[in-house]
């Protein structure tokens, strides 16, 4: 479906849970989230009905996200059913990788074509600090298994945090020469719940390029990422700049939260609830959500926070 500003909406980000086995400081409160009542969350059947409605409106790509999608007990069934919906050409998934050791191959068999893995640092102590509880070795083991599972592509996403991992930009980018992966740097977004980051944490992606003097621009782009390549690399370095140059003009997505709210824009408080609706009801709600997509979101900075009513773990990135 085409939105009021001429953008063709082809991509749904489907959050399957708010829960997570990590507590990344920029995403989630230290105490985690209150587990909601089961009946307040979308059921698997409701998620599948929503994807069917989305496909009827021309959506072809589903990203399964969370919270951490791999803590969801029925994640394989969700992926299998979603990937088989008529009209859905690509089912992809974003994960912290901790459970990929066991789940990479079953996910591939369930129809997941690509995985994006979040990894902000290659230092075990810093990993434990930023995630508040994770072990780097578990994430690396998950990445290793994902690389041999036969996905079309594995991408590594690092949130760029000034004063925390900016010194690791060369080491993270170097992974593209060691593994057949793309490494993408994402500017830290000021979301509800991550107010403790100071101005220095909001580093523009242009700083990444200063640290990678050998990086050469690549033709085209990958979704919202501008692409570069290091000499001899097996994959690209991508820069995703929601703050320094937002990509609203090319926005082709809507989001569905695990508690059943359609979000026309990541950084707006507007939501439409679909909990309890059948496929026809969701179809109407989705048309409304697409029609409500704003031309662009407001400025984002340490001082001008996202207007989203939700922390990132409750949206899905
Ligand atoms: N748990 C999965 C993971 O971490 O990959 C999926 C959900 S997570 C909310 C999706 C993505 O959002 C991750 O790549 C994460 O790094 C990113 N993210 C979370 N909070 C963010 C923020 N404040 N700014 C930029 N990216 C953020
Ligand atoms: Fe969990 Fe992903 Fe948020 Fe980290 S970024 S707390 S892994 S949902």
Q: Quick check: 85 and 64 in contact, CB under 8 A?
A: no
| Interval 52-74 mean pLDDT | 98
Does ligand 1 lie within 6 Å of residue 175's CB atom?
no
Q: How confident is the model at residue 32 (pLDDT cuts 50, 70, 90)?
A: confident
* pLDDT of amino acid 97: 98
DSSP label of 23 = -
- Look up residue 151 and give its DSSP letter: -
**Average pLDDT, stretch 216-240?**
95
- Residues 255-265 have pLDDT tens digits of 999 999 999 99
Higher pLDDT, 296 or 227: 227
Closest ligand 1 atom, residue 158 Cα: 16
Q: Distance from the CA of 22 to the center of ligand 2, in angstroms?
A: 6
| Helix 75-83 and helix 44-56, axial crossing angle in degrees, nearest 10 | 20
- Segment 98-108 shows an average pLDDT of 98
306 has pLDDT over 80: no
B/e letters for 259-298, b = 16+ CB within 10 Å, e = fewer, are bbbbbbbbbbebbbebeebeeeebbebbeebbebbbeebe
Task: Please give the model's pTM, rounded to 2 decimal places.
Answer: 0.97
Q: Residue 300 has what pLDDT?
A: 67
pLDDT tens per residue across span 111-164: 999 999 999 999 999 999 999 999 999 999 999 999 999 999 999 999 999 999
193 contacts: CB under 8 Å, gap ≥ 6: 27, 28, 29, 311, 312
Q: Residues 50-56: what's their mean pLDDT? A: 98
Look at residues 88, 108, 99 and name the one whose alpha carbon lies nearest to residue 152. Answer: 108
Tell how far the Cα of 88 is from the centroid of ligand 1, in angstroms.
Answer: 24
Neighbours of 314 (CB within 10 A): 24
Beta bridge partners of 253: 11
pLDDT at 302: 67
- pLDDT per position as a tens digit, 182-216: 999 999 998 887 878 988 999 999 999 999 999 99
Distance in Å, CA 24 to ligand 2 centroid = 5
Q: What is the dihedral of CA 10, 7, 309, 207, to 10 degrees?
A: 100
Whether 81 has a pLDDT exceeding 70, the answer reads: yes
Arithmetic mean of pLDDT over the chain: 94
312 lines ligand 1 (CB under 6 A): yes
Task: Sketch out the chain's domains with CATH numbers.
Answer: 11-314 (3.20.20.70)
Mean pLDDT across the stretch 221-237?
A: 95
Output 316 or 262, whichever has higher pLDDT.
Answer: 262
Distance 293 CA to ligand 2 centre (A): 26
From the CA of 22, the nearest ligand is 2
How far apart CA 25 and CA 6 sit, in angstroms, is 36
Q: Structure tokens of 77?
A: 């069934």
Neighbours of 43 (CB within 10 A): 14
């Amino acid at each position: 479906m085409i939105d009021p500003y001429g953008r063709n909406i082809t991509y749904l980000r489907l959050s399957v849970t708010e829960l997570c086995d990590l507590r990344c400081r920029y995403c989630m409160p230290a105490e985690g989230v209150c587990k909601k009542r089961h009946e307040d969350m979308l059921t698997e059947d409701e998620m599948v009905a929503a994807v069917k409605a989305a496909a009827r409106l021309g959506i072809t790509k589903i990203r399964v996200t969370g919270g951490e999608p791999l803590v969801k007990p029925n994640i394989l069934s969700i992926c299998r059913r979603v990937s088989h919906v008529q009209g859905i050409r690509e089912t992809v998934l974003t994960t912290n990788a901790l459970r990929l050791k066991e789940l990479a191959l079953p996910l591939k068999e369930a129809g997941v074509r690509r995985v994006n893995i979040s990894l902000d640092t290659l230092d075990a102590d810093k990993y434990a600090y930023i995630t508040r509880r994770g072990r780097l070795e578990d994430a690396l083991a998950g990445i290793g298994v994902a690389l041999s599972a036969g996905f079309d592509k594995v991408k590594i996403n690092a949130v760029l945090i000034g004063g925390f991992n900016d010194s690791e930009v060369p080491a993270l980018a170097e992974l593209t020469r060691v593994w057949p992966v793309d490494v993408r740097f994402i500017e830290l977004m000021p979301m509800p719940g991550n107010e403790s980051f100071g101005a220095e944490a909001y580093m523009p992606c242009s700083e990444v390029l200063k640290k990678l003097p050998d990086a050469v621009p690549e033709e085209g782009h990958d979704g919202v990422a501008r692409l570069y390549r290091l000499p001899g690399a097996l994959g690209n370095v991508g820069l995703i700049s929601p703050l320094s140059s937002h990509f609203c003009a090319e926005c082709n997505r809507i989001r569905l939260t695990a508690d059943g709210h359609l979000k026309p824009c990541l950084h707006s408080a507007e939501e439409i609830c679909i909990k309890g609706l059948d496929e026809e009801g969701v179809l109407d709600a989705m048309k409304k959500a697409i029609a409500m997509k704003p031309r662009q979101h407001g400025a984002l900075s340490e001082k001008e926070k996202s207007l989203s009513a939700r922390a990132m773990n409750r949206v899905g990135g």
